[in-house]
């Protein structure tokens, strides 16, 4: 193990003990006696799925974020719409995909340890494995989440939007017990994946009364994005990779922010506060610093707890 990996693991354990001391039900050895092979099963399923579809890691990481920010990490994002429209069919979530990976992991786990492992925990493991398989850091995922029974599309309005300014972002994160450092570190998840035009169209057309294009957006990137995302007759799934190495978990995202080449207003907004700007610079210059902060912030975020049961089927409440 490298010294940086050992440091990340130590920091993870430190935060972990903090979570536990706050009276949270999560623990590192929750499945030690009931389903010791659970994490190996999830890792195998995520790795196999990624070999067939390189967009899977970004999808699973985003799915976990979107789950934790509404009702805590309770797998409410996995529930199908029934009498009411569920979270997964809310406007910010219609582009979520790779739910089948969680289903496959659940099926394999149920065959070994029926009724033991929550879908919320499976999603938390899958998000961590998605980062690792993409070249990012690993961390010890706290275990013992329960699955929620409620999922409402109307609540997806609580998700931080790509158009948010720094004050809106700070409020959204602080409401969930997350700091400015967590905000900057977790935004680094944008190093993976693809964005549809709708998430950044505000920056390239009719930006405000004075400018058609956001003046903080690099002109070359603005011209490219305008070509991909015209106001009219846009291709159905048009968009752009989040960064040029969009299947690799690295610190390119922060370097792009400093060059005014990030996609979202919410990314650019990280330069509008002295503390977040300094963190962007730190993470741009040190991949190790970013990896350590990201692992710690993921542990914090994934420990926002909310559910009541262990679902038999991740798409349906018991």
Q: Where are the alpha helices (H) located in 69-165, listed in sequence order?
A: 99-112, 119-133
Are 134 and 247 spatial neighbours (Cβ–Cβ below 8 Å)?
A: yes
CA atoms within 13 A on the CB side of 15: 22
Total length of the chain = 318
Element (DSSP H or E) covering residue 21: helix 3-21
Q: Which contacts qualify for 234-239: CB closer than 8 Å, 24 or more apart?
A: 234/197, 237/196, 238/196, 238/197, 239/194, 239/195, 239/196, 239/197, 239/199
Catalytic residue among 66, 196, 211, 218: 66
Sign of CA dihedral 301, 57, 156, 27: negative
Is 190 considered catalytic here? no
Burial 112-144 (b: 16+ CB within 10 A, else e): ebeeebbbbbbbbbbbbbbbbbbebbebbbbbb
Active site residues: 66
């Amino acid at each position: 193990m490298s010294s940086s990996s050992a440091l990340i693991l130590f920091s993870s354990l430190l935060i972990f003990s903090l979570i536990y001391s706050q009276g949270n039900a999560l623990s590192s050895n929750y499945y030690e006696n009931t389903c010791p092979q659970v994490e190996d099963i999830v890792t195998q399923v995520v790795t196999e799925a990624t070999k067939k579809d390189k967009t899977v890691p970004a999808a699973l990481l985003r799915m976990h974020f979107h789950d934790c920010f509404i009702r805590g990490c309770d797998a409410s994002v996995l529930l199908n719409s029934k009498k009411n429209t569920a979270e997964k069919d809310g406007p910010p979530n219609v582009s979520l995909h790779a739910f089948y990976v969680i289903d496959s992991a659940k099926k394999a786990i149920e065959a070994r340890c029926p009724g033991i492992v929550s879908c919320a925990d499976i999603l938390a493991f899958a998000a961590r494995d998605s980062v690792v398989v993409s070249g990012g850091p690993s961390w010890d995922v706290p275990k013992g989440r329960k699955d929620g029974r409620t999922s409402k599309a109307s609540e997806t309005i609580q998700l931080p939007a790509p158009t948010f300014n720094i004050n809106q972002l700070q409020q959204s994160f602080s409401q969930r017990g997350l700091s400015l450092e967590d905000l900057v570190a977790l935004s680094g998840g944008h190093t993976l994946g693809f964005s549809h035009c709708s998430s950044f169209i505000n920056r390239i057309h009719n930006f405000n009364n004075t400018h058609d294009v956001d003046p903080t957006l690099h002109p070359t990137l603005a011209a490219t994005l305008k070509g991909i995302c015209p106001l009219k007759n846009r291709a159905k799934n048009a968009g752009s990779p989040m960064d040029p190495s969009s299947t690799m978990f690295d610190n390119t995202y922060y370097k792009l922010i400093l060059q005014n080449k990030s996609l979202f207003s919410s990314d650019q907004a990280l330069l509008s506060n002295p503390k977040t700007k300094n963190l962007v610079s730190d993470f741009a210059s040190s991949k190790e610093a970013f990896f350590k902060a990201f692992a710690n912030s993921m542990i914090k975020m994934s420990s926002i707890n909310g559910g009541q049961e262990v679902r038999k089927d991740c798409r349906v409440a018991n």
